[in-house]
Amino acid sequence: PDSAGKWKSAVQLLDLDAANGVLAARGVIAHEFEARRSAMVGDALVSISQRELIAADIADRDAPSILSEVSLAWPVDRCLEVGTHLIQIEDGNWNWYSDNRSAARISPKDNTEAIYAEIDLGEGQVKIVERRGNNLFVLRDTSAKRSGVLYRSAFWPSSGSNELVLDIYDVSNLPTMTLVGSVAVPSGNSGSQLSSTRFLWPRENRPAIFMNPGYSYRYWYGDYVIAEPVAVALNTDGTTVKATTSPKMASVKPYWISDAKPQLIVFDVSNPSAPSAGKAIDFASEGSRLNGASEAANGLVVTGVSHSYNPVSKIWLQNSGAYQSVQVIDVPVSGDPVMRSLIDVPGKLV
């Protein structure tokens, strides 16, 4: 890895002076992934990896330059069919220490190897891609651009304050794919995670996402035995009054339960060239988590919530004992969402 912790791959040029026993490092040729083979072809150095073939001019051995490069293979994490074309999405940053960027590649749908265009989608990892009409909506999580830190996937938390970025592309004239507008929003509480890999659309121009609290990393679960507090009185002669106490059990929060709450983020894409994002809105209570069932329509968002704390008994509950409710949220045409009261239900939404 380099000084920033990113894994870099390159072909290193070396000068060998066998007579004097000297080996000197010269310039490097950047190469996607590990170069498998390299050889001189005429005056050019040709190198091949599992992803690409490059030809380089090494006349200046301290500053070699790329003459040409050809892609041989590429990751495809999801595809979208648009007319006679196929949009192939590479989510990016799938290699542990790589600095790979997400990309979209446009091909005919009947010849996926013929790439007409390749579009850099930016840093971070693509989490959601959806097409509506002539617009392609791409949600990137820039916490995936990190150094030796677990990135946040759909169901794996990370720590720190990061940004989600919503990009809107015009795909009406493929293979040309044009970025129309972008908006960034802080991606919820520290350690928060996307609860789904799709947008919810309560209204035509108001996509929404839920964020779940990340897991805590305490290491104790159970009940502490704590003595009840006792007021100690003094006799007139200065001696103390003897007092006895009985142990009382105090419920302790399980280590995996976060101090944060679930959150809702609603975007406004009525003007694709200038999208906006509302602030992340907390709902439910500390220790609550979304149970994965969420839908949206007719200006409403509905989601299931699991609660790990019983406010009546004041006891933290195991996952199997968590009680369930439904959260209904009104999303207006513009402005902030409005939370309705929680509705208790006998089981999880599915």
Task: For the chain, give the secondary structure using H, E and C.
Answer: CCCCCCCCCEEEEEEEECCCCEEEEEEEEECCCCEEEEEEECCEEEEEECCEEEEEECCCCCCCEEEEEEECCCCCCEEEEECCEEEEEECCCCCCCCCCCEEEEEEECCCCCCCCEEEEEECCEEEEEEEECCEEEEEEEHHHCCCCCCCCECCECCCCCCEEEEEEEEEEECCEEEEEEEEEEECCCCCCEECCCCCEEEECCEEEEEEECCCCCCCCCCEEEEECCCCCCECCCCCECCCCCCEEEEECCCCCCCCCCCEEEEEECCCCCCCEECCCEECCCCCEEEEEEEEEECCEEEEEEEECEECCCCEECCHHHCEEEEEEEECCCCCCCEECCCEEECCCCC
Block means of pLDDT (10 residues each) for the chain, 350 residues, are 65 90 90 80 90 91 92 90 96 61 93 94 92 96 54 39 84 96 78 84 96 63 49 59 51 70 93 94 83 90 86 71 88 93 81
For 188, residues 6+ apart whose C-beta sits below 8 A from its C-beta are 211, 263, 265, 280
pLDDT score for 349: 73
d(CA 55, CA 48): 9
Check residue 110 and give its pLDDT. Answer: 95
The 10 Å Cβ neighbour count of residue 136 is 25
- pLDDT of amino acid 153: 39
State both tokens at 18. 């066998």
Q: Looking at residue 345, what is its pLDDT? A: 85
The pairing of beta strand 85-90 with beta strand 35-41: unpaired
Per-residue confidence (pLDDT) for residue 4, from 0 to 100? 58
Inter-residue contact 331 to 203 (CB < 8 Å): yes
Q: So what's the pLDDT on residue 225?
A: 46
Predicted model pTM = 0.76
